Structure 1
Amino acid sequence: MGLLDFVRRHLVDVRPLATPAYRRLWWGQGVSFMGFQLTSVAVSAQIYDITGSSFWVGMLGPANLVPLIVFGLWGGAIADAVDRRKLLIGGALVAWTGTLALLVQAWTGTEEVGLLLAAVAVHATGFAVTSPTRGAIIPRLLPVEQVPAANTLNFLVSSLGAVIGPLIAGVVLARGGFAIAYLADAVLFGASLYAALRLPRLAPTGEVTRPGLGSVVDGLRYIAGHPVVLMSFVVDIIAMAFALPRALFPEVVAERFGGSPVAFGWLTAAMGIGSVIGGLLSGWVGRVRRQGMALTFTIAVWGMSVVAAGLAGELWAMVALLAVGGGADMVAGVWRQTILQTHAPDEMRGRMQGVFTVVVAGGPRLGDLRAGATATWFGATGAWVGGGLACAAAVLVVGLAVPAFRDYRAAAVARDDAART
């Protein structure tokens, strides 16, 4: 095997970047996501600074989750019925409003947890609209065979933001304070807005259903009738709701590392580091045929990595083990997204991406709530380790119990393999 063939088969597939509209959407997402990560770290740190409680940090979970459920489902239905470019712009402006509210409260010295949670809820509302819209746009910009590669690139650039953003946040919080972090997010938002403005018109295709409760129900009925799609959501909820230790980071940093903002930044960036490495070495991901089985075991690896990280005593070991989990989560995310985008017809993709947003973005919020609540009973380490163990056990039991999901083979991969031979 020559070097070029090795690179093509094992390193990240960059073919989608040759399409200008997708390329702008990709880098705009990456730049703005760095700002989003700055805000995420700053909000958690500010709430813990005000309250000294992981419970209140965990309350960021429902503050994000309720808007994600309501507006994620509704936003996905709208994305199937209107010009997706216009909807993406509108949702982005709503999210920006939430960031500006955080900036104003920090600049004026207002330390009200309720105001922080309300601003986060506004931002989550905008995100709940833009995320399914962006996911539904991608198959319109690219040929179907490039969709898995585009999803990998999306996860890769988001992971880069998840690494760079928290590391910058650690420095900013140590030297500049909360307001500077929110200001940087507000400025970096401009990249995603520019990318949305440059998109072509994306009017709905196929049968258009009036957005509302009926169209949302139709989307949920579609999911219920397709076990592979349904299980892709179930295993992701298990992964995030049971194992994500994010809400415990401030308490663990305070207990083990003297409250160091730099240590907080490294812990927050750890999973992103693993996702970046996994994305760069992702050429093989699109060739996996038994994606249901692979998805199940990959999530089990994520859970056990979280367990090991919670038991580690040194910062470098915790970062390394969380990075392993982040790589596993990135690979699992590519398969989940590809299943949705290639199974559903275009007139259903917005609603599928709406549910995907609720699950993928809402699952971590459930995880925040679970972690914060259980930490009040079992302590930070008990909540951390116990969640990882529960995730690994539950996903193996559930994922292997559904034959359609366990034996699922990706048709597009099978056709690609046949063409090569």
Structure 2
Amino acid sequence: MWIAGAVTVFGSFLSFVALPYQLKELTGSPVAVGALGAVQLVPLVVFGLYGGALADAADKRKLIFWSEVALGVSALGLLLNTLLPSPMIWPLYVAGALTSALAGIQQPALDALVPRIVAHDQLSAAAALNALRWQIGGVVGPALAGLLIAYAGLEVAYALDVLTFVVSVALAWQLRPSPAAHDAEKPSLSGILAGARYAWSRKELLGTYAIDLAAMLFAFPLALFPFLADDLDAEWALGLMYATLPFGSMLVSATSGWSRRIHRHGRVVALAAVCWGASMAVAGAMQNIWLVLLFLTMSGGFDMVSGIFRSTMWNQSIPDELRGRLAGIELLSYSLGPQLGQVRSGGVAALTSVRTSVWSGGLACVAAAGLLALALPKLMAYDARTSPHAKAVREARMSRTQESL
């Protein structure tokens, strides 16, 4: 599962850079590039919630495998469109929407599978390890994409993405079945609402969703990177700019042994969001490309700190029978924000300037995260050692282990 995910992430980051670059070349409009986030919103909401219900009711292996196949077909469509004498714009938006819908189906199944196969006290390490595969692909993929686009063309980047899906599909086929519990309820609106009611009852969980959503909404200007590179007269650095966030995250993951000694996860999530916004604001104000890359890297590190403790809190305190549906809600919280953030950053850049959009969004993130921390006392008071929800999940895991023995 880890290797298949690493291969997929590497290829997907090639398209992650190529897609907005191609839109920029075809339209020349930051609004058009930012609109990619808009077309991904509805599929992400609908299929993220339904995918969570599916993950609780179906074999997770089948969901992972067939969504991986469909993602490969989407990548092939991007390649074929690029090979046309005059590539069309609308297939780029269709591919973005389709990829969003498929991620909504696949990701809850992947997330729900982890607590089944990892010991309760090792979930922080599992969160860092899972993030590491994204970070490796996120560092190498964008850097390679920038070189491929500049010297070989968009079609080569898309072709390599298709090839990685061939490999990841073959690996996903080797996963063992992971069926739902015999008494699992079928996917339904009432089941989705039951998951939502549980999430609402857990104010500390709601706090993690709210802070991450605010951070991404205000301080996730990836849609502007092609324009920021132009503004800094550093078109050669576009791939590096996309690689900075995962590189910063990778540095934190590789040194994350300290994370298991932290028990007040909510406080760290809030502090990391403030630091993420501050770093992004400084990056937007810098005139030197190397300083911009440095502060973007720092932003990626703080984002990973937040991600480790959000994931640990979720995995250690959500019961198995609700894990898929809550994973669907988690997917919305950490995916809707970036999509909305691209729309916000593109719109503000059109009204003001690219750099103003970046630094003002960072400052807005700092303010929003600080206010949410003050308004969410249960998040700030959360302690994994004393939380009754974490204790219940630990005891349930021990009981199932003893029964299997």
Q: Does the TM-score normalized on the shorter chain lie above 0.5?
A: yes
User: How far did 1:191 drift?
Assistant: 3.7
Residue-pair matches, total:
389
The aligned counterpart of 2:90 is: 114
User: How far did 1:206 drift?
Assistant: 6.4
Which one-letter code corresponds to 1:397 in the other structure?
L
Matched, 1:351 2:353: no
For 2:246 and 2:176, how far apart are their aligned partners in 1? Answer: 31
Q: Note the alpha carbon deviations across 1:343-375, whole angstroms, 9 max, x for none.
A: 211111111111111221221111100100111
The aligned counterpart of 2:281 is: 307
The answer on whether the counterparts of 1:32 and 1:190 sit within 8 Å (CA) in structure 2 is no
The aligned counterpart of 2:6 is: 30
The answer on whether the counterparts of 1:95 and 1:125 sit within 8 Å (CA) in structure 2 is no
Mapping for residues 270-281 of structure 1, pairs under 5 Å? 270-281=244-255
User: How far did 1:212 drift?
Assistant: 2.0
Structure 1: any 5+ residue segments left out of the alignment? 1-24, 416-421
For 2:86 and 2:78, how far apart are their aligned partners in 1? Answer: 10
Which one-letter code corresponds to 2:372 in the other structure?
V
Matched, 1:377 2:346: no
Tell me: CA distance 1:241–1:206, structure 2 relative to 1, closer, same or farther (3 Å).
farther
Matched, 1:197 2:173: yes
For 2:189 and 2:76, how far apart are their aligned partners in 1? Answer: 31
The aligned counterpart of 1:209 is: 185
For 2:374 and 2:384, how far apart are their aligned partners in 1? Answer: 17
Mapping for residues 12-91 of structure 1, pairs under 5 Å? 25-91=1-67
SS in 1 for 2:57: coil
Tell me: CA distance 1:367–1:60, structure 2 relative to 1, closer, same or farther (3 Å).
same
TM-score, reference length from structure 1 = 0.90
| Residues 404-413 or 194-203, more deviating | 404-413
For 1:49 and 1:165, how far apart are their aligned partners in 2? Answer: 20
Tell me: CA distance 1:290–1:206, structure 2 relative to 1, closer, same or farther (3 Å).
farther
Mapping for residues 198-347 of structure 1, pairs under 5 Å? 198-205=174-181, 207-257=183-233, 260=235, 262-347=236-321
Matched, 1:104 2:64: no
The aligned counterpart of 1:9 is: none
TM-score, reference length from structure 2 = 0.93
Tell me: CA distance 1:75–1:154, structure 2 relative to 1, closer, same or farther (3 Å).
same
- Structural RMSD (CA): 1.5
The answer on whether the counterparts of 2:72 and 2:166 sit within 8 Å (CA) in structure 1 is no
Structure 2: any 5+ residue segments left out of the alignment? 392-405
User: How far did 1:139 drift?
Assistant: 1.0
The aligned counterpart of 2:395 is: none
Q: Note the alpha carbon deviations across 1:283-326, whole angstroms, 9 max, x for none.
A: 11122111111110111000000011011111111111011110
The answer on whether the counterparts of 1:97 and 1:123 sit within 8 Å (CA) in structure 2 is no
For 1:183 and 1:361, how far apart are their aligned partners in 2? Answer: 26
For 2:111 and 2:380, how far apart are their aligned partners in 1? Answer: 25
For 1:113 and 1:46, how far apart are their aligned partners in 2? Answer: 9
The aligned counterpart of 2:69 is: 93
User: How far did 1:132 drift?
Assistant: 1.0
Tell me: CA distance 1:235–1:220, structure 2 relative to 1, closer, same or farther (3 Å).
same
Q: Note the alpha carbon deviations across 1:64-104, whole angstroms, 9 max, x for none.
A: 22211111110110010011111111111222221111111
The answer on whether the counterparts of 2:69 and 2:165 sit within 8 Å (CA) in structure 1 is no
The aligned counterpart of 1:12 is: none
The answer on whether the counterparts of 1:103 and 1:183 sit within 8 Å (CA) in structure 2 is yes
2:128 is aligned, of 146, 152, 165, to 152
For 1:123 and 1:406, how far apart are their aligned partners in 2? Answer: 35
For 1:159 and 1:220, how far apart are their aligned partners in 2? Answer: 30
The answer on whether the counterparts of 1:206 and 1:347 sit within 8 Å (CA) in structure 2 is no
For 2:362 and 2:173, how far apart are their aligned partners in 1? Answer: 41
Percent identical across equivalent pairs? 34
SS in 1 for 2:348: helix
